[in-house]
Structure 1
Amino acid sequence: METALHLLPDCPGLTLNSPYFDASQQEVHLHIEINDIGSPCPRCQINSRALHSHYVRQVKDLPWGEWTVHLSITAHKYRCRMPDCPQQVFCQRLPIMVAPWARRTLRLAEGQRQLGLALGGAAGARLAVKQRTSVSRSTLLRLVRSVPCPIFTTPRVLDIDDWAMRKRQRYGTILVDLETRRPVALLADRKATTLHVWLEAHPGVEIVTRDRYKAFADGVSGGAPQAQQVLDRFHLMQNLTGALEKVFGQSRMALETVLVPEGATPLPVAPLLAVHDLSCNPVMPLTAALLVPPGLPTISSKTRRQRRIERYEQIKAWHAQGWTIRVGRSARSLVSLGLIAAASVGRSRPMRFQNSRAEPGNLTLTKRI
């Protein structure tokens, strides 16, 4: 009995009565009584000894090895004798052992909270089953949310960026202290007013790094006008890369003309399309001169149509000479792209029609009709 009492949370004034061990479920049931008479009112903090009734609280504690521990705590209810106190009846509290209205001890709740912080909801719930402290993932996440936010000083160098609550649907703003490389705050949206309010509530920011999003620029200008705004290297390189790709894509033909020496044979763009003769089996890859480079918004529709017609006539002439088309896609896709005529598409093998399982029954029904 004394050994079991030492395994309980350190709370004086408790009496352990009749422990029960359930070997089939590997559970330990401990009945505990509170020896102290009287308790302070939670509203007016005046101690009262006017007994009203008693009740039994069912609380779960840390396991003893492979055994789950259940505590049945017999507590008392008291009447508050202060006439102006709104609390007429209150329950006896054990602030060192268990929180009010809680179904688990403080030390068990702290262990589950650390489990949720380390692994999250679903993974933490699976590990909790192995540790004999079964808990749902929703409870783990609720315990994680109950952790108070750490107190931080206003960063001198602040980085502002967006983060996705749901990709392409909902975005927020993340603020990071670049000197400590730790997140400072998460804002619910990317509006300039939200950032403006946060910067006004936390004065002292000297340098702000951000991307080229206009709302961030407006928020920093309004909330911290004294701060120096800096565009970070990542977004500068990203914007430069996008701009260069767009310019090079629009001037691809000019670049090919400059890069390919005069008189040299242009390299094939990709071995996507080739023709071959069945007799001698030579391979003739289509070069860049026969393929329209994709994504050229500066080329007019008339020029693209003329090139498509020339390409179609060239392939049609090869087909008339007995050449066949070898391509990484079906012949009907070439028809849809306009590369070959629909009349020149033949079936490589006849279509096979398989009889269904209901065919014998259909014949019988036909005879009866």
Structure 2
Amino acid sequence: MQTETIAIHAGNLTHSTTGDVTPPISLSTTFFRDENGGYPGGHMYSRVSNPNRSALEKVMADLEKGTDACAFSSGNTAGMTVFQALPPGSHIIAPDDMYWGFKKQLQSIFEGILTIDFIDLTQPDLIEEHIKSNTAMIWVETPSNPLLKITDLTVVSAIAKKHKLTLACDSTFASPCFQNPILLGADIVMHSSTKYIGGHSDVLGGILVTAVQDELWSRIRNIQQIGGAVPSPFDCFLLLRSIKTLPYRMKGHAENAMALAKYLSVHPKIEAVYYPGLPSHAQHEIATKQMSGFAGMLSILVKGDARKVVNQVRLFAQATSLGGVESLIEHRASVEGPDTKTPQNLIRISVGLEHIDDIIADIEQALG
């Protein structure tokens, strides 16, 4: 089945006695056992599994072309579970332009437990130079946050396989509609489902999808079920509802973002536009090769005071996060804090689904 069809049907696992077309919310925390001690409904306790969560994991595994998925209560928890599943003392190679929440995790929570090298993953030769005897994983983020760097997954996958390393990819900015890292050689794909998958800025969540159910995946599943940082049945219901429209929402986000990027690329008050769909983007050819669309995120460098620009928008919401139907704008450096490496004149934009003329008009008046 094609992506649009998978998104609508793959999560419809529940067949209730009342014949619901849309799977109902299953709020029960515990489930009946039979006379032999088994669980005829397939679930024993909601921390371990739940009908809504199983449906969410099924549709996400299908969308990402994987064999299994684990849902979590946030994107940060999903990523942290991968790091937690690695043996203590492991070395990770990670991108220099990495989502600040994960970078903060690695530098604080896993300090003394894991060692990390943050390098420019758009330069594959650097990866080989940083592989050590205890290297266990290459963590890729493509497109990256906030500079929209594109890492060549096929090239990095070949390096990972050569050295028997796990390749994990944060594909949040792309969504499963525009990029399938597993088909390009990744072992694990991560999404903050709060973003495009949820799509309405009203639910928190994270997803991991695996290519193969190996020993590492067993540890990840064990941490999910025993640690218990799982989404509620209602959160899963909301995500399943949103996934049904995900392919069509992503088409709208990408169309609007491309139009805005083109407009800003020739604007006299803009120093640079970071959007992989533009031919001027440093990794445009790689993006074209491994993505079927360029999604709705872009960053710009303004000439002048970026804080002044974000304070003058009217239609855009000045707020963090991304992927909702509404357009969001933020001065990224002030979100990341005093140790940020993000340029002070950088503005990150999550292009929503409003009419493109209104989006451009609001940016124009804010820049003016």
User: Same fold judged by TM-score > 0.5?
Assistant: no
Q: Which structure carries more strand by proportion?
A: 1
The structure whose Rg is larger is 1
Q: TM-score, normalised by structure 2?
A: 0.16
Q: TM-score, normalised by structure 1?
A: 0.16
Relative contact order higher in (CA < 8 Å, ≥ 6 apart): 2
Q: Which structure carries more helix by proportion?
A: 2
